[in-house]
Every structure is written in C-alpha cells, then in structure tokens.
Structure 1
C-alpha cells in the first residue's frame, strides 16, 4: 500500500480519468502554494495576477508533460513551438522567481504521475517558506534607503552634505550623479542607512536648508541585487 503511493499513476495509455486526476491534483497544489505565498508576502504586497499564475502553472506544466509522454517527436515539436514564443517582463523579486520554479517542479511531478511526491514537495517547501518568513531570516536589522537630492550646478556635490549624513546615518555612499534641466541642476543618489530613532523630517529639513529647498526624495527601501532569468 505504501509503495503504491510512491509509484507513478500513469500507464502506457493515457485515460480521461488519469488526466483529470493529475490536473485536479496539480491545481490543488498550486492553490496551496499560492495561499502560502499570499500569507508570507502580504506585508510586502503582491500582484493578483502572479497569485493566479501560481495556481495555473502546475496544471499547465502537468498537461504538457501528459501530452508529450515518452514521444520524442512530440517533445521536439513542443520545443520548436515554444522557441517561437518570446516572453518580455521586468525582473521580479528573487522570492517570486523561486515560487515560479517551485510550482514548475510541482507541475513536473504531477505530470509524470508522481502526485504523492508533488504533494510532499509542496508541503516541505511551503513549510520552509513559512519558517523563513516567521523568523525573518536574511533580513537586515537596518534597511538600506535611497536618497535623491537635487542641487544647483554650482554646488560641490562631493562634500556638500557629508556633515549632515554623518550625523544622521550609519553609512552613506554616492551611487550615481546625473544632470537635469539641461545641466542647470545635479541629482545625487545616495545609498544610506539611517541611525535608530532618527527623526526623518528633521533630517530632510536640514538637507533642504543646504540644497536651496529643491527636490529631495527618500525611498524607504531599495533592492541591492537584481536577478535576471
């Protein structure tokens, strides 16, 4: 009985009953993964379309595997068809990309008939995701912030704000400098770490006095690493 759980449910001939069982199993697992995703990513926000994708992706992959089977000609035909499709999307959050590969693995397991394996993988990986979210593993205690300051062209941007930044930040570094308004203004972009219990309004007010009350933008968090796949 136990050995039958770990064996494939597929036979040499694909039947409607087998196909439906695989599809519904992959949909249920995708729904479970999407539920865990919404609970662990609720504070950071998420796209509703991505949640739907997590539900549908395992079923889509399972259907593809069912149709291809052991037929080499079908596999090459499928590869040729997918080579004509080009996907264009902005690089996403690395955690979101890990969920995509997670659902792909679940869909592959279901498509090959190893539904029990797919369920075990889903439970284990979702449990790991929940534990990492609860323990806040890998999250820095002090977040990086992005500070954009606009100054006139005749201002020395290299040393203009050093004393204020040393007073209110743990560390600061110039990331990029660019001109605007046909060279009449400079925009300095810093990566900073504010000290604990810093009054952000007081910090920005001091910067405004130094830059002539021009534009100042303080982003609460920036992503240092980008993942391209």
Structure 2
C-alpha cells in the first residue's frame, strides 16, 4: 500500500494522458488547496486575497507542471515567469511563506500525477500545523519583551540600567546599540525577561522616572531581521 504513494496516474511520457486523469488531478489539487487554506486560517490573521490565492495556487502549479512535462523551452519560460512574479512581490511572513511552499509542493506532486502522495503530504502537514498551533512548543513567552530606549549620547546609562534590570527582570540582553539624530542620541534595544509579578506599565514607569530618557517602547513581537 505504501508503494502506491509513489505511483503516478500519468503512467509514462509517451502515453497519451486521458483528459479525465488531468481533470481528476486538477480537482484533487483544488480540494487540497482549499484544505490548506482552511488550516492556514486557523489562529491566523489573514487577508481575503491571500486565502483565495492559497486555494488556487496548487491547481495552477499542477497545470503548469503538466504542460511543461520535460519540455526544456517551456521550463525556461516558466522559470522566467516565476522569477518576475517573485521580483514584483513583497515578502510575507514566515507562516505565509510556509503555506506557499506547501501549496507549491502539492501542485508539483499532482501535476506529475502523484495524487496519493499529495493527499498524504497535505494531511500530514495539516495535522502537524494543527498540533504546533495548540502545543506549548511554539507558544510565545508571556514574560519576554523587546525593549527600545532612546536617550542622549552623553548619558551614563550602564550603572543606572543595571540596577533597574536587576530589580525588574529575571534576565536581560543588549541586542543592539545605534547612534541616531546626528550622533546626539543613542537607541538601545534589549531582550528582557520580566519578573512575573511586574506589569508592562509598571516596567515602563521605571524608565519614565528619568528625564534623560527621551522615549521607551515595549513589545512582545520579535523584530524581523533583514538577513538570515
């Protein structure tokens, strides 16, 4: 039974494919795309356009793979088209990119005729995503924060912040320091682990007591890096 996963419904390149086989393959791609979109929407802030795109993407890729079918010239043209689309598209979040990769894999599998493998692959990853969303493995820490402070460049902050952090945080790490406003100010970024009994508002008030601190912000969301 396991071997059936790796059997293509398009038996060979020199065999004329029955139209019903292609329709069946495209229909499975559409159903798997709808399932993937449904799983993606679970506990996710999404847009209508992306959900529609995710639903139809496996079917489109499946048809493209079927049409290419070993034709080198068509393959180059398709690669150029995808490169143009990628160049004109804005980068999405990590979960969006994962969903697009899954949709692409589904389309490639069904386009080559490996329908059983595509169904198994989609169900397996959908189950994995559902488990990750509901397990503590991927949950964001409730006490970790990303702290940004702006202060004068001549302000001696090290001793002051050391005492403040030891009182309010279980641990802290200076992530970056940057000179801004023509070297007149410094922007400090910390990753801190707050004491469970301390609220965000009380933590901010500790910094606002000092007139030298121009601006302070606190966030639960990790800052996106431009490089890997």
TM-score (norm 2): 0.82
1:221 Cα deviation after fit = 2.4
Alignment correspondent of 1:174: 174
* Aligned 8 A contact 2:143 2:195 in 1: no
Alignment correspondent of 1:20: 23
* Aligned 8 A contact 1:58 1:103 in 2: yes
Alignment correspondent of 2:155: 155
* Aligned 8 A contact 1:94 1:227 in 2: no
* Aligned 8 A contact 1:144 1:221 in 2: no
Alignment correspondent of 1:34: 37
1:108 Cα deviation after fit = 1.1
Give the direction of change, closer, same or farther, for the CA distance of 1:81–1:202 in structure 2 (3 Å limit). Answer: closer
Alignment correspondent of 2:100: 100
Alignment correspondent of 1:8: 8
* Aligned 8 A contact 1:91 1:227 in 2: no
Q: Which runs of 5+ in 2 are unaligned?
A: none
Alignment correspondent of 2:205: 205
Q: C-alpha separation between the residues in 1 aligned to 2:89 and 2:168?
A: 38
Give the direction of change, closer, same or farther, for the CA distance of 1:2–1:84 in structure 2 (3 Å limit). Answer: closer
1:210 Cα deviation after fit = 2.1
Aligned CA RMSD, in angstroms, stands at 3.0
Alignment correspondent of 1:165: 165
* Aligned 8 A contact 2:33 2:56 in 1: yes
Q: Which runs of 5+ in 1 are unaligned?
A: none
SS of match in other structure, 2:146:
strand
1:69 Cα deviation after fit = 1.5
Alignment correspondent of 2:58: 58
1:85 Cα deviation after fit = 5.3
1:135 Cα deviation after fit = 1.4
Q: C-alpha separation between the residues in 2 aligned to 1:90 and 1:193?
A: 33
1:49 Cα deviation after fit = 3.4
| Corresponding position: 1:74 with 2:90 | no
Q: C-alpha separation between the residues in 1 aligned to 2:33 and 2:104?
A: 10
